[in-house]
Structure 1
Amino acid sequence: MADNLFAAIDMGTNAFKLLIVEAQPPGKFLPILTRKEPIVLGRDSPSSTISPHSQRLSFKSLEKFSKLLKSHNVPSLHTRCVATSAVREARNKAEFVNSVAETTGFNVEVLSGEQEATFSYLGSLQFLPVFDHSILNIDIGGGSTEFAIGSCGKVDFSMSLKLGHITLTQHISEDKEAEKVQKMREYVRKVVRKSGLIEKVKTLGFEVAVGSSGTVRAIEKAGSKGHGIDLLQKEPFFKDCEVMNWRLSREKISSVVESSCKGGKLQNGKRRAESIVAGGILLEEIFDLVGIKEMLVSGYGLREGVIADTLAKVYAEDYDLEANSRFQSLLWLATSSFNGGTKTGVPQSERVCRLISRLLRLDF
């Protein structure tokens, strides 16, 4: 077995995702394999149960992951399988989790909304140089949206709302696009206002807003391809992330949503367009309700947060929660230097990063 290999499986509402990383003390890691299986647990059963069809697809995908883990010699004790909103809310949750264990051998951790929010926050800390800042971390999934406010690795507040791009699309059944969008906005405002989130965010405050989900990354990506407005850097803090160009403004989100609703290039796939429209509306309303002007977009999220939590337990007193974000900064610097900020030369950049790390005695 390779003692420096670790893995995390995210059994999400919209897909199952596998991540395998190579890690070293005090907490740095490099992804060596990622896989995604489109398992939509929250779409095919209106009765809040995981259907037999979805269960069969789940077992099949997890068995694929199991073979990949074995072929890479990942220790079973270094592998964690977590489930989020769809399993958490399912009436047959216990039956499904037991069936997964019997069929695939994976012991599923069904995360509470607060745990999911915390892991997503930890994931962002593995990617962005924001450890010392007070962060409002937002993770928009298929079945729920998680919020966490924290600084220096400590979460001061976390909340999960049953608002996701799939559940929001299912909840609103208007035929006309304009009416559907307006109904979505009204529903989001109602749920957020009733939750107490706005008051809590205002009381605690935050310096930086971070989006850590695939939905947020898809919106940013769409905006950067000409569907949004690329604003100039205005705040000194955002200069640190200029090489990534991963940030979102309210204007960019609005432009992406508008383009999607008008049947622009985003309409290549109906489900993808639905995800971006619903996720974009959710994010727009959250921006307005809690007072976000601009958001950093993290390339890491829940899975990387689970990895970080595992490394903290394995490395104990030697663990450094900031170690990986420092390594990421070196990687992006090397990528920018060799490729003008593109990702085409990442393998070469990683080699440069390793050399720089050794020179700086970061021990990767």
Structure 2
Amino acid sequence: MLQPSAEQAPLIAAIDLGSNSFHMVVARTSNGEPRILERLGEKVQLAAGIDEDRQLSEAAIQRGLDCLGRFAQMVNHLPEGAVRVVGTNALREARNRQEFIRRAERILNHKVEVISGREEARLIYLGVSHTFPGMDGRRLVVDIGGGSTEFIIGQHFESQLRESLQMGCVSFTQRFFRDGKITPGSHAKAYTAARLELMSIEHGLRRLGWQQAIGASGTIRAVGLAIKGAGYGNGEVNREGLTWLKHKLFKLGDVEKIDLDGVKPDRRAIFPAGLAILEAIFDALELSDMTHSEGALREGVLYDLLGRHHHEDVRERTLNALVERYHVDLEQAARVETKALEAFDQVAADWDLDPERHRELLGWAARVHEIGLDIAHYHYHKHGAYLIEHSDLPGFSRQDQQQLALLIRGHRRNIPRHKFEELSDDGARLTRLCVLLRFAILFHHIRGPQEAPAVRLKAGENSLHIEFPEGWMERNPLTSADFAQEAEWLKRIDFDLSVR
């Protein structure tokens, strides 16, 4: 039975598991628009708990889980599809992210997705563009997070260039201001490190150009308010204010002495690092001022969630662009997708497959399973899997891409059993999806619009029985041989395929 969609649910929610803070917004939908009912945020500083071996400490994990325990009271009763939880740079970096994710999902009762830096940038821009007054020209949006900084140039609701750099107010605090002292030397080191990071993207940003610069983070908001408190602006960040603020911090000399308008006590420790990064951005991009937007990643996640339920799913556009770029045979892909979903509907209940999430994943895999042919026919399933796993695919989480890549990797010849088993919780179901995809591809091995017979499928725990119309297999010896070979391949993963 289908779960209620976000459109049908009384409430929807977005949770942003940032490197510095965790944020949650809860909204009610009305005429396709969210009306924010609740905003919650807590400083967790997940990035501060990552050691040199890129392991999250138990203390950092517990800080995050304690925060989510408080968030959970508002969302763990909501239906699947009404809540989206995204993790950013700290979880991208942590080698033991799965330990945190497993425990977090148990608390929230919702799936946690880890998104790429460029996907984070896309969602940030979506949040800004929906919550900031419209304009005709291009916008530059900057978000200084705890572990990474995102840069986006876009127009209206569409981002045109998205970049993510490995610099953030928490990670730079750990590198340059660990002792809490604020000196010209420590500031210069942080500033120089940021300028070096910016060198890889500043030319591309400036070549595209923008008419307005917007900041979308707590750091930029705090800097703007501190500058306003000193009488150098109305809440925006400007060069005169940055210069004053830098020298003010030098005079204070210690994060414990920071007592500025707009800088909350829990932000004091990371404030000097954020200021150094922001000054480097102003200099590299030759900015004169930057306005702050209240909308950011969590609002972007909310609007993206709404779009998925109003047939404006960016993932569909991403897949359409992918099949066009790699010259996929659209008719063959459509035939395979139709047959795979027909098979899914017959066995979903017996195989405990989610009628929404797993069905969607199978459809995607059927649509793009041949993209590797544009590279080479030899091992094209491996080429396709690599492209899916390592491309920037707007709308897809890292888990989405990993699972999709695995289905494409396993759609022909040997199924890499150990890779499926590594997914633990979903490995068995993903293997079953792979079997269905392989069935659909074999069924349409002979390309063309020829009439295909109706078949009946019966699923066991590790078996699939396929029943063709009487005499059909005898009249189609190539298909018969294909399925006999397929049965041999599946024996290697202890799966029984029988055909009659």
Give the TM-score, by structure 1 length: 0.75
Separation in structure 2 between the aligned mates of residue 297 and residue 104 of structure 1, nearest angstrom: 31
- 1:20 is matched with 26
1:28-69: per-residue Cα shift (whole Å, max 9, x none)?
Answer: x33211112221111133222211122222222212211122
Q: 2: CA distance between counterparts of 1:308 and 1:282?
A: 29
Q: Deviations over 1:307-339 (max 9, x none)?
A: 1111112223699xxxxxxxxxxxxxxxxxxxx
CA distance in 1, matches of 2:93, 2:49: 14
For the aligned residue pairs, the C-alpha RMSD in angstroms reads 2.5
CA distance in structure 2 between the partners assigned to 1:186 and 1:318 by the alignment:
40
1:250 alignment partner in structure 2: 239
The 1:207–1:4 alpha-carbon spacing in structure 2 relative to 1, beyond 3 Å, is: farther
Give the letter for the 2:227 counterpart: G
Question: In structure 2, what is the equivalent of residue 287 of structure 1?
Answer: 282
Match of 1:313 in 2: 308
**Aligned residues of 1:144 and 1:162 also touching (Cα < 8 A):** yes
- Displacement of 1:255: 2.2
Q: CA deviation at 1:165?
A: 0.8
1:180-234 per-position Cα deviation (integer Å, ceiling 9, x unaligned): 11111111112211x2x111012211111110111111111222222x512xxxx
Identify the range of structure 1 (262-271 vs 16-25) with the bigger mean alpha-carbon deviation.
262-271
Question: Post-superposition shift, 1:130?
Answer: 3.2
Q: Which amino acid in the other structure matches residue 274 of structure 2?
A: G
> What residue identity is the alignment partner of 1:20?
V
- CA distance in 2: counterparts of 1:223 and 1:211, whole angstroms: 15
Inter-partner Cα distance in structure 2 for 1:148 and 1:207:
13
**Alignment partner for residue 36 of structure 2, among 31, 37, 46?**
31
Query: Quick check: 1:277 aligned with 2:272?
Result: yes
User: Residue 64 of structure 1 is aligned with which of 70, 84, 94?
Assistant: 70
Partner of 1:98: 102
Aligned to 1:85: 89
Alignment-derived partner of residue 294 in structure 2: 299
Residue identity opposite 2:237 in structure 1: L
Match of 2:131 among 127, 131, 136: 127
- Given that 2:43 and 2:266 are in contact with CA atoms closer than 8 Å, whether structure 1 keeps it comes out as no
Structure 1 CA distance, aligned partners of 2:312 and 2:281? 38
- 1:278 positional shift: 1.4
How much has 1:100 moved relative to structure 2? 2.2
* CA distance in structure 1 between the partners assigned to 2:313 and 2:135 by the alignment: 18
> Residues of 2 paired with 1:286 and 1:202: CA distance?
12
Matched residue type, 1:305: G
Unaligned runs of 5+ in 1: 231-244, 320-364
1:108 is aligned to 2:103: no
Q: In structure 2, how many angstroms separate the alpha carbons of the residues matched to 1:31 and 1:74?
A: 16
- For residue 177 of structure 1, report the CA deviation from its aligned partner: 1.2
Structure 1 pair 131–313 and aligned structure 2 pair: CA distance change class (3 A): farther
Consecutive unaligned residues of structure 2, counting only runs of 5 or more, are 253-257, 315-500
SS in 2 for 1:10: strand
CA distance in 1, matches of 2:95, 2:291: 36
Identity rate of aligned residues, in percent?
31
Which 10-residue stretch deviates more, 147-156 or 113-122?
147-156
Deviations 1:152-176 (A, max 9, x none): 2222111111110111121125866
**TM-aligned CA deviation for residue 79 of structure 1:** 0.7
Task: Tell me how far 1:105 sits from its aligned partner.
Answer: 2.2
Deviations 1:235-265 (A, max 9, x none): xxxxxxxxxx542212222323332332252
Contact 1:247 1:296 in 2 (8 A): yes
Do structure 1's residue 266 and structure 2's residue 260 form an aligned pair? yes
Q: 1:49 to 1:131 in 2, by over 3 A?
A: farther
* 1:200 corresponds to: 204
Q: How far apart are 1:149 and its partner, in Å?
A: 0.9
Give the superposition deviation at 1:113: 0.2
1:148 counterpart = 2:152: yes
DSSP 3-state at the match of 1:315: coil
Match of 1:55 in 2: 61
Displacement after TM superposition at 1:26 (Å): 3.7
The 5 Å alignment of 1:209-220 reads: 209-220=213-224
Query: Which SS does the other structure have where 2:221 is aligned?
Result: helix
Q: Does the CA-based 8 Å contact 1:39-1:58 persist in structure 2? A: yes
Distance 1:40 1:98 in 2: 19
| 1:246–1:298 contact (8 Å) kept in structure 2 | no
Distance 1:125 1:111, change over 3 A: same
| Distance in 2, Cα, partners of 1:107 & 1:7 | 13
User: For 2:188, which of 182, 188, 206 is the aligned residue?
Assistant: 182
2:141 aligns with: 137
- Comparing both chains, which one has the higher relative contact order based on Cα–Cα distances under 8 Å and sequence gaps of 6 or more? 1
Amino acid at match of 1:272: R
Q: CA deviation at 1:126?
A: 1.9
| Pairing 1:42–2:37 present | no
Q: Which residue of 2 aligns with 1:224?
A: 228
